[in-house]
């Protein structure tokens, strides 16, 4: 049992299964680089207050440099006997530099060490996600600008409602992803606080300089309570919540892409590189990427619930339960990174079938509201106008035609105030152009918004 860092206290070894059950090195080794970064900042601080010598510090720096190299070259030997990333690296450091390596852990515990590692790691993931959201919004805005005048039916209840421009529809997603980015930025503020110095739970009796460590590692501030610093993972839960919302938005977009690509609808084609065929049906081109993204939403939601549940009944301060925080968090970050990367590219690979969109918008009386609004402008109360148009729609349905197909005389039979200018109102172009206010679907507004977002998201 001599290999364990805490071995002296124990009289019998753990079984192989318990060893595997309790070890985290299989997954937490992906934090090796930030673990070393944290250790170097800690060592620098220990030297600054005279707790270790300059020689020791330099030895630690040299040793860590070599370890990092070994890890990058895939030559580092990870051992399950050493439980986790922290003990594996520390053991190797002692092998390489001797006593100086044994002094590194002065005034520190794996409890504040791991909390620091996760925060450093997550901070970088958040920055990557923010960059990917920027890219995705940029590409959505570029496509929206091209389709500021392309008209498709807008739906409520998946029934034709009113005509909208495709650019406007795309910019709806740009808004969702903007809020997702805001959420990540907000979460980052609470991620970016330094737990190191909390030691196991109570702080340490050494005269440590936490502000110095925070500065070295780029943290905005230090955690103000040692018990809280080592034990809470609310920042990781916030990240998973933000990730779940990103996936929810991606999933809604996916659903629409899938519907739009269905031959029954035929509004778009996705580039072949995002689709696959069928092993039996030669004609198939399936939107696998959006389908998978829709599916992967479930696992990110799961990670959020798992983390909330992990934390809910833990007494202060650190408990080993917390080791279970990592795999879900990693997977949430990996899933949104891959998903956002692919979607940014996939948006550029959308081919728009403007004719099919237009034909669909011509069906289903999409401009009925415009006729009602026209009557209101002629002096009718809205509820009466609504009733009048409902009668007109019913007549059209019986005659199997559109409102715009009715003659002026027929239209006037529903209300005498209708004049020849009604046909401007009943066109799709007239309908969208009339909605010319902030947040409206008019091509002019869509161009304005798309340009604003393009400007905001430029590199």
Contact mark string toward ligand ARG, 71..90, x via CB under 6 A: -------------x------
**Paired strand residues for 444:** none
Contact between 116 and ligand ARG by CB under 6 A: the answer reads no
Q: Locate 439 and state its tokens.
A: 């947040």
CA angle 301-296-249, nearest 5°?
70
* Binds ligand ARG by CB under 6 A, chosen from 111, 251, 335, 441: 111
**Closest distance to ligand ARG from the beta carbon of 231 (Å):** 10
Count of residues touching ligand ARG (by CB under 6 A)? 9
Q: What are the helix and strand counts (H, E) for the chain?
A: 20, 6
- Considering beta carbons, is residue 118 or 133 the nearer one to ligand ARG? 118
Nearer to ligand ARG, 322 or 388 (CB): 322
Q: Are 247 and 301 in contact (CB under 8 A)?
A: yes
Does the footprint of ligand ARG cover residue 323 (CB under 6 A)? yes
User: CA triplet 301, 306, 311: central angle to 5 degrees?
Assistant: 135
- Which residues are part of the catalytic machinery? 157, 278
List CB contacts of 293: < 8 A, sequence separation 6 or more: 247, 250, 251, 254, 339, 342, 343
Reduced to 3 states, what is the DSSP secondary structure of residue 159? strand
- Shortest Cβ 90–ligand ARG spacing (Å): 12
For ligand ARG, the binding residues in 3-42 under the rule CB under 6 A are: 24, 28
Nearer to ligand ARG, 148 or 329 (CB): 329
State the Cα–Cα distance between residues 114 and 239, nearest whole angstrom: 17
Q: Which stretch binds ligand ARG (CB under 6 A): 182-190, 241-249, 320-328, 429-437?
A: 320-328
Q: Which region among 98-106, 190-198, 317-325, 368-376 touches ligand ARG (by CB under 6 A)?
A: 317-325
Cis peptide before 317 (omega within 30 of 0): yes
- Asked if 210 contacts 222 with a C-beta cutoff of 8 angstroms, the reply is yes
162 binds ligand ARG (CB under 6 A): no
Name the token pair of 42. 């800690």
Tokens for 207? 């005269």
| Residue of 114, 289, 306, 406 that binds ligand ARG (CB under 6 A) | 114
Q: Report which DSSP code applies to 4.
A: S
Cβ of residue 270: shortest distance to ligand ARG, in angstroms? 41
Residues lying near ligand ARG in the complex (CB under 6 A): 24, 28, 84, 110-111, 114, 320, 322-323
């Amino acid at each position: 049992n001599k290999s364990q860092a805490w071995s002296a206290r124990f009289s019998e070894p753990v079984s192989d299964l318990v060893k595997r059950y309790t070890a985290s090195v299989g997954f937490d080794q992906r934090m090796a680089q930030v673990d070393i970064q944290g250790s170097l900042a800690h060592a620098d601080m220990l030297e600054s207050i005279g707790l270790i010598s300059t020689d020791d510090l330099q030895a630690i720096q040299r040793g860590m440099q070599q370890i990092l190299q070994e890890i990058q070259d895939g030559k580092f030997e990870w051992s399950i006997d050493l439980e986790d990333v922290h003990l594996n690296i520390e053991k190797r450091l002692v092998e390489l530099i001797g006593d100086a390596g044994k002094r590194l852990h002065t005034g520190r515990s794996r409890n504040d060490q791991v909390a620091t590692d996760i925060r450093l790691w997550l901070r970088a993931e958040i920055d990557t996600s923010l960059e990917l959201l920027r890219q995705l919004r940029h590409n959505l805005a570029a496509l929206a600008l091209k389709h500021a005048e392309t008209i498709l039916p807008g739906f409520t209840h998946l029934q034709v409602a009113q005509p909208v421009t495709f650019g406007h529809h795309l910019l709806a997603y740009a808004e969702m992803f903007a809020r997702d980015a805001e959420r990540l930025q907000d979460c980052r503020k609470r991620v970016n606080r330094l737990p190191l110095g909390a030691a196991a739970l109570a702080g340490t009796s050494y005269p440590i300089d936490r502000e110095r460590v925070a500065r070295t590692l780029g943290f905005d501030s230090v955690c103000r309570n040692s018990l809280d610093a080592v034990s809470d993972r609310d920042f990781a839960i916030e990240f998973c919540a933000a990730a779940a919302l990103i996936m929810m938005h991606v999933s809604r977009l996916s659903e629409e892409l899938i519907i739009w690509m269905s031959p029954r609808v035929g509004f778009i084609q996705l580039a072949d590189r995002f689709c696959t065929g069928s092993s039996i049906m030669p004609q198939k081109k399936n939107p696998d990427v959006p389908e998978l993204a829709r599916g992967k939403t479930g696992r990110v939601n799961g990670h959020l619930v798992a983390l909330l549940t992990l934390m809910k009944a833990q007494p202060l301060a650190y408990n080993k339960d917390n080791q279970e925080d990592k795999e879900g968090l990693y997977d949430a970050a990996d899933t949104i990174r891959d998903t956002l990367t692919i979607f940014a590219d996939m948006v550029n690979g959308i081919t728009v079938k403007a004719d099919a969109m237009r034909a669909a918008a011509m069906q289903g009386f999409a401009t009925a509201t415009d006729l009602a609004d026209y009557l209101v402008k002629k002096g009718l109360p809205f509820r009466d106008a609504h009733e009048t148009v409902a009668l007109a729609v019913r007549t059209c349905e019986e005659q199997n035609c559109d409102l715009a197909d009715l003659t002026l005389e027929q239209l006037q039979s529903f209300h005498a105030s209708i004049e020849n200018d009604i046909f401007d109102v009943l066109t799709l172009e007239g309908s969208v152009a009339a909605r010319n206010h902030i947040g409206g679907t008019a091509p002019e507004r869509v161009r304005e918004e798309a340009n604003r977002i393009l400007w905001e998201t430029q590199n």
